[in-house]
């Protein structure tokens, strides 16, 4: 009885000292990013009267849609402790393939399918290199970044593809009611891949592979198949983003998508997905992409140079990684 009575106060004391910090960490994990987003919006609203207008928010969402689609695919890759540096180049290659099919008069479905197929095939190559040849993701996708960019310039001798049909252009500049088509495409993509990640066995496998690869293999999960598949998904969505970008800019440019991979990685990391794998969500990525979009838009409204925007984005990425490291520390 005495030992029990002595142990109880100690246990209570330990609980008392650790629970506030643990509670704070859990609160920040759940509400930190939305709170930062709301505060940023309030600050921008007071800084510019145009910021909170419907037209400006549609511009923000339209600008965010391309990066958002890329970031959804990047989330799957980073959840498995990987990285895909080639999405910007894949986007350009797929957009050019899609536009060339569209100008040949094969129809909208064939053009969109060609772009997504081209992106997925390059994703297959990435997945094979990483999953089957055991090449580090950084090296494999860095190589694909250069290869895909070179293929894009070779495909049409470095020239853009113009004179796209109206039905194709509607994917980038069209509207469904008051909402732009790119925003709707982004929303549908985010919803589908959020549901896959949250409610399917495959989604649990993705988390398991990123969380502990050895344990996942011991549990009978096909680690190679899961790793291979996430790069195919990333390539597929990069292809779709390339189609939307070509339609939005009314031409497919071989130099399109430069540094887009950095924006996608930034959105994922800012959204709380750990570069160590196994932790993160599509919802967090959406907030991350929107946060970048709001920062870019707000700084543009305030007349801040794009050079400073790059500096701000880099600092935010570093801060997001530091927060991730802090969250992983034991209380």
Q: What is the pLDDT along the chain (331 residues), one digit of tens a residue?
A: 444 444 444 444 444 445 666 666 666 666 667 787 888 888 888 888 888 888 899 999 998 999 999 999 999 999 999 999 999 999 999 999 999 999 998 999 999 999 999 999 999 999 999 999 999 999 999 999 999 999 999 998 989 999 899 999 999 999 998 899 999 999 999 999 999 999 999 999 999 999 999 999 999 999 999 999 999 999 999 999 999 999 999 999 999 988 899 889 989 988 888 888 888 899 999 999 998 898 888 888 888 887 887 887 788 778 777 776 776 665 5
CA distance 149 to 166: 27
∠ at Cα 247 (284, 55), nearest 5°? 60
**Six-digit token string for 196:** 């896959």
Q: Of the candidates 194, 267, 271, 293, which has an alpha carbon nearest to the alpha carbon of residue 33? A: 271
SS3 181: helix
**What distances in angstroms separate CA 328 from CA 14, 83, 135, 324, one per listed residue?**
20, 20, 27, 6
Q: Of the candidates 112, 122, 117, 84, which has an alpha carbon nearest to the alpha carbon of residue 252? A: 112
CA distance 64 to 80: 24
Sequence-distant (6+) residues with CB within 8 A of 243 are 94, 95, 98, 111, 112, 115, 116, 171
**Phi, psi for residue 180 in degrees, rounded to 5:** -70, 145
**Phi, psi for residue 175 in degrees, rounded to 5:** -130, 150
Q: Rounded to the nearest 10 degrees, what angle do helices 223-248 and 108-127 cross at?
A: 140
Sign, Cα dihedral of 88, 90, 91, 93: positive
- What's residue 12's pLDDT? 45
**Phi, psi for residue 51 in degrees, rounded to 5:** -60, -45
Q: Of the candidates 25, 3, 141, which has an alpha carbon nearest to the alpha carbon of residue 85? A: 141
∠ at Cα 263 (285, 239), nearest 5°? 85
In 10 A of CB 278, how many CB atoms? 19
- What's residue 64's pLDDT? 93
Q: Of the candidates 127, 121, 153, which has an alpha carbon nearest to the alpha carbon of residue 140? A: 127
CB 164 within 8 A of CB 102: yes
For every residue of 247-305, DSSP letters joined together read HHTTSB-TTTTTTHHHHHHHHHHHTT--TTSS---HHHHHHHHHHHHHHHHHHHHTT--
**Six-digit token string for 111:** 């053009």
- What's residue 30's pLDDT? 64
CB 27 within 8 A of CB 280: no
């Amino acid at each position: 009885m005495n030992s029990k009575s002595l142990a109880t106060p100690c246990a209570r004391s330990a609980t008392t000292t650790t629970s506030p910090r643990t509670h704070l960490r859990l609160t920040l994990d759940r509400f930190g990013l939305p709170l930062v987003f709301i505060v940023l919006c309030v600050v921008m609203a007071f800084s510019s009267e145009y910021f909170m207008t419907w037209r400006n928010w549609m511009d923000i969402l339209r600008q965010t849609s391309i990066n958002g689609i890329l970031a959804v695919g990047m989330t799957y890759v980073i959840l498995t402790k990987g990285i895909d540096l080639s999405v910007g180049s894949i986007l350009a290659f797929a957009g050019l393939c899609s536009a060339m099919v569209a100008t040949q008069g094969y129809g909208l479905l064939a053009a969109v399918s060609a772009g997504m197929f081209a992106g997925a095939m390059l994703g297959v190559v990435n997945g094979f290199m990483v999953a089957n040849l055991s090449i580090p993701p950084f090296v494999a996708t860095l190589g694909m970044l250069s290869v895909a960019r070179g293929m894009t310039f070779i495909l049409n001798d470095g020239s853009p593809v113009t004179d796209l049909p109206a039905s194709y252009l509607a994917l980038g500049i069209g509207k469904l009611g008051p909402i732009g088509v790119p925003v709707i495409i982004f929303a549908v993509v985010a919803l589908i891949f959020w549901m896959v990640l949250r409610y399917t066995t495959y989604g649990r496998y993705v988390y398991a592979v990123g969380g502990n690869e050895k344990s996942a293999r011991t549990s009978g999960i096909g680690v190679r198949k899961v790793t291979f598949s996430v790069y195919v998904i990333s390539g597929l969505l990069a292809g779709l983003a390339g189609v939307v970008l070509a339609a939005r800019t009314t031409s497919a440019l071989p130099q399109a998508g430069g540094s887009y991979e950095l924006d996608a990685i930034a959105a994922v990391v800012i959204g709380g997905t750990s570069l160590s794998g196994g932790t993160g969500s599509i919802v967090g990525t959406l907030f991350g992409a929107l946060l970048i979009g709001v920062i870019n838009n707000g700084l543009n409204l305030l007349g801040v140079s794009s050079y400073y925007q790059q500096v701000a984005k880099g600092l935010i990425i570093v801060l997001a990684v530091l927060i991730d490291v802090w969250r992983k520390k034991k209380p």
